[in-house]
């Protein structure tokens, strides 16, 4: 984030293909390309990042399958978010709201329903085009300073810019933040939500480390980033999505909003946890290996007893978890998935088939491993019938257990 080369490798994970590189049909005729998953710590600004960045064109512009609207939980979260931001920052009808990494336009639709004008930016071309067809104008491109210049010329400056989880996916954040500062009007606000590495580390949510995530955020590095781009941090809030996230609120330097105490409070928390020292993360890999050994022992024991095991969800992070722990098709019979774009495909490397959710009731596996663990509660709530019929769920993180 600060462009320093003073980086220290703090962890290596198993190299994998990009988590969304699903296989369309078997057998696979060409070797699957894997990339390193090594985590580095910046000794200058305390940011954590991948050492190897896969081209965004590989990750997003071909066959990208993630759709926000697939998750009822996240749709509900974004509805509440829009209402909260409108109230907190006094956004009124006719004001302009932009979303960086707007995906299918789910977030912007909430603002549009509240009477605001909206514009999205997303590099997943097919998804952006579909969002525009559905009434949420979306520019199919990567957000940057140069793009912001063109956007401001076409649409004028905007009053509010939002971004949900996209800032973990962007390698050159400095250029993005310069673009935000340029496009935002003088009284405007930029709010981003992103996974919080404090939660990843303490709760062992290591599978959120995958190639789409170039960056693993804490609050302290944002302070310097905002300063360099003519902005300032005004508030921070810890929120639930992604197993633990932060909502980072900012404005142009000297803007109308006072800096809230939440900023210093969370920076002090990170200091207390010693997140300014590379040595803090030295035991991360050992703790992950311990979890993996226990999870695989549970699954292997069940399989040895002749019991059938499926999985729920094929999120990007599932590729990291399955390959790190050596869990493949010999242990998992199939994966059920709500997202229509993923059904009929196969997982990278393990080639576990991905099927519609109703297959869980047709095939009746004895156990289901929840790979989309951040949605475990709504998944189990929505599928009480499976449990009532004698099925059991397995949670992999932060502690492997059968429920």
The pLDDT value recorded for residue 69 is 82
The pLDDT value recorded for residue 216 is 94
Report yes or no: 168 and 53 within 8 Å, Cβ to Cβ: no
The pLDDT value recorded for residue 94 is 94
Report yes or no: 198 and 273 within 8 Å, Cβ to Cβ: yes
Pairing state between β 138-139 and 158-164: unpaired
> Where do runs of H (alpha helix) occur along 134-219?
145-155, 173-183, 197-203
Side-chain half-sphere exposure of 266, counting CA atoms within 13 A: 27
- Tell me how far apart the alpha carbons of residues 279 and 30 are, in angstroms, rounded to a whole number: 40
DSSP for 12-60? EEEEE--TT--BSSSS--SPPP-EEEEEEEETTT--EEESS---HHHHH
The pLDDT value recorded for residue 165 is 87
The pLDDT value recorded for residue 9 is 95
Q: What is the pLDDT along the chain (403 residues), one digit of tens a residue?
A: 787 889 999 999 999 998 889 999 999 988 899 999 999 999 999 999 999 988 777 776 556 666 788 778 889 999 999 999 999 999 999 999 999 999 999 999 999 999 999 999 998 889 999 999 999 999 999 999 999 999 999 999 999 999 998 888 888 899 999 999 999 999 999 999 999 999 999 999 999 999 988 999 999 999 989 999 999 999 999 998 767 899 999 999 999 999 999 999 999 999 999 999 999 998 999 999 999 999 999 999 999 999 999 999 999 999 999 999 999 999 999 999 999 989 999 999 999 999 999 999 999 999 999 999 999 999 999 999 999 999 999 999 999 999 9
Please report the domains of the chain, with CATH numbers, ordered by start residue: 68-281 (3.40.50.150), 298-402 (3.40.50.720)
Beta bridge partners of 11: 39
Extract the tokens encoding 63: 């066959």
Task: State the pTM of this model.
Answer: 0.87
The pLDDT value recorded for residue 64 is 63
**Helix, strand, coil share (%) of the chain residues, nearest 5:** 40, 25, 35
What dihedral do alpha carbons 262, 266, 269, 270 form, nearest 10°? -160
Extract the tokens encoding 354: 């991905």
């Amino acid at each position: 984030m600060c462009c320093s080369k003073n980086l220290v490798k703090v962890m290596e994970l198993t190299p994998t293909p990009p988590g969304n590189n699903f296989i369309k049909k078997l057998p696979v005729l060409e070797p699957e390309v894997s990339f390193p998953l090594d985590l580095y710590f910046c000794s200058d600004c305390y940011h954590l990042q991948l050492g190897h960045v896969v081209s965004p064109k590989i990750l997003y512009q071909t066959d990208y399958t993630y759709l926000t609207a697939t998750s009822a939980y996240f749709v509900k979260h974004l509805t509440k978010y829009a209402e909260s931001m409108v109230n907190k920052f006094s956004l009124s009808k006719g004001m302009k709201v932009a979303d960086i990494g707007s995906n299918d336009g789910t977030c912007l639709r909430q603002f549009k329903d509240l009477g605001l004008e909206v514009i999205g930016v997303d590099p997943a071309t097919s998804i952006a085009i579909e969002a525009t067809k559905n009434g949420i104008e979306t520019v199919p491109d990567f957000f940057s300073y140069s793009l912001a210049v063109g956007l401001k010329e076409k649409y004028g400056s905007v009053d509010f810019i939002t971004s949900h989880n996209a800032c973990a996916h962007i390698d050159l954040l400095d250029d993005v933040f310069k673009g935000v500062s340029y496009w935002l009007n003088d009284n405007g606000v930029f709010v981003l939500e992103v996974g919080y590495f404090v939660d990843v580390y303490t709760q062992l949510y290591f599978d959120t480390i995958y190639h789409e995530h170039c960056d693993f955020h804490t609050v302290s590095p944002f302070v310097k980033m905002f300063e360099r781009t003519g902005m300032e941090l005004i508030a921070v809030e810890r929120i639930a999505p992604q197993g633990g996230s932060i909502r980072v609120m900012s404005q142009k330097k000297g803007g109308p909003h006072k800096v809230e105490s939440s900023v210093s409070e969370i920076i002090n928390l990170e200091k207390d946890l010693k997140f300014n020292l590379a040595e803090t993360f030295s035991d991360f890999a050992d703790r992950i290996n311990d979890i993996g050994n226990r999870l695989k022992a549970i699954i292997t024991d069940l399989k040895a007893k002749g019991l059938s095991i499926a999985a729920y969800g094929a999120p990007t992070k599932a590729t990291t978890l399955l390959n790190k722990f050596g869990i493949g098709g010999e242990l998992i019979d199939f994966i059920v998935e709500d997202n229509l774009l993923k059904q009929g495909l196969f997982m990278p490397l393990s080639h576990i088939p991905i099927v519609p959710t109703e297959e869980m009731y047709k095939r009746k596996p004895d156990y289901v491993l929840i790979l989309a663990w951040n949605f475990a509660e709504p998944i189990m709530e929505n599928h009480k019938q499976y449990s009532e019929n004698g099925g059991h769920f397995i949670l992999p993180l932060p502690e492997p257990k059968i429920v």
